């Protein structure tokens, strides 16, 4: 059935709520540079479209994507980046969740495609827990960056041929990449694969090799001393908005395989959330006496 909020008619909406067992996914990303080879909307594509594909496996509603995740707002930020104050993000997200709850959903799963959102989302979950709500929220980190390692694990456990779309050459490429413990993180092989599996026309592999995706280690001395700065110094160490070894050799087959694996991972999480009997009870118990 159609699971996307925007594509559902008002008449059919109650049926979607029922089929979803009152579970709604809220895809979240950000708008920022992803190296020279991936589009600004990488995290949004991953979160929104993998969420939709997952709900074709395990039914749940998919709310329109929350595009304005946490991105630094200094004048040195690359062209096209969008930065919104965290206070506004928190207010907007709570308002949207309230509206999702008003429309009959009791469990909201924020599918986060941007690692930079993690700190404030944890604070958001705490704030929601502190308020009387008819719904509960949880966060699912998409972890698109480590898709190659998920694929390698499946190949190791279930054997070659167990991941759709991959040729023997593709399997060798992924297994070799992981055996060498090559780095992934941001605009890396994992994210490049996912975008190639969703919107290959937006990927520019010919731009690889111009800027490095490896750490400068410039801010490491602070971490080594136990001192934490914003984002752990990531923006300094990975000043090209690119973290990982160059994804040279990535192709659409690997991309489709990555999307397949990520969609099935999320579908399993949706099933767990639908079957859960505790989260609403915990929230109600926490609210007693308030």
CATH number for position 127: 3.40.50.10310
Domain identity same for 281 and 194:
no
Domain identity same for 157 and 283:
no
Domain identity same for 36 and 57:
yes
Domain identity same for 21 and 129:
yes
Domain identity same for 83 and 207:
no
Residue with tokens 């929350």: 66
Domain identity same for 275 and 136:
yes
Domain identity same for 188 and 139:
no
Domain identity same for 211 and 133:
no
Segment 247-251 long-range contacts (CB within 8 Å, at least 24 positions apart): 247/37, 247/188, 247/189, 247/192, 247/193, 247/205, 247/208, 248/205, 248/208, 248/209, 249/173, 250/189, 250/192, 250/193, 250/196, 250/205, 251/170, 251/196
Domain identity same for 69 and 195:
no
**Which residues form the domain of 29?**
5-143+264-287
Write the pLDDT tens digit of every residue in 17-45: 999 999 999 999 999 999 999 999 999 99
Write the pLDDT tens digit of every residue in 141-183: 999 999 999 999 999 999 999 999 999 999 999 999 999 999 9
Number of folded domains in the chain?
2
- Count Cβ atoms within 10 A of the Cβ of residue 60 and give its class: 0-12 exposed, 13-18 middle, 19 or more buried: buried
Write the pLDDT tens digit of every residue in 76-131: 789 999 999 999 999 999 999 999 999 999 999 999 999 999 999 999 999 999 98
Whole-prediction pTM: 0.96
Domain identity same for 107 and 164:
no
């Amino acid at each position: 059935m159609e699971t996307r909020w925007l594509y559902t008619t008002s008449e059919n909406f109650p049926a979607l709520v029922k089929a979803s067992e009152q579970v709604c996914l809220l895809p979240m990303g950000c708008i920022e540079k992803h190296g020279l080879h991936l589009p600004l909307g990488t995290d949004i594509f991953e979160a929104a479209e993998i969420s939709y594909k997952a709900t074709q496996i395990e039914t749940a509603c998919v709310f329109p994507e929350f595009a304005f995740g946490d991105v630094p707002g200094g004048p040195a930020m690359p062209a096209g980046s969008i930065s919104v104050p965290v206070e506004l993000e928190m207010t907007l997200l709570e308002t949207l969740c309230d509206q999702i709850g008003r429309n009959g959903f009791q469990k909201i799963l924020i599918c986060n495609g941007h690692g930079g959102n993690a700190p404030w989302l944890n604070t958001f979950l705490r704030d929601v827990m502190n308020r009387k709500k008819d719904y509960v929220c949880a966060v699912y980190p998409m972890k698109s960056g480590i898709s190659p390692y998920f694929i390698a694990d499946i190949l190791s456990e279930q054997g070659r041929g167990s991941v759709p779309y991959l040729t023997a050459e593709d399997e060798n490429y992924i297994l070799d990449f992981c055996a060498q413990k090559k780095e992934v993180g941001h605009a890396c092989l994992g994210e490049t694969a996912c975008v190639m599996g969703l919107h290959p026309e937006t990927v520019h592999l010919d731009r690889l090799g111009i800027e490095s995706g490896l750490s400068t280690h410039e801010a490491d001395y602070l971490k080594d001393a136990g001192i934490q700065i914003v984002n752990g110094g990531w923006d300094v160490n990975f000043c090209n908005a690119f973290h990982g070894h160059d994804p040279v050799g990535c192709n659409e087959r690997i991309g489709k395989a990555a999307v397949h694996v990520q969609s099935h991972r999320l579908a399993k999480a949706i099933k767990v959330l639908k079957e859960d009997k505790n989260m609403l009870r915990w929230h109600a118990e926490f609210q007693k006496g308030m």
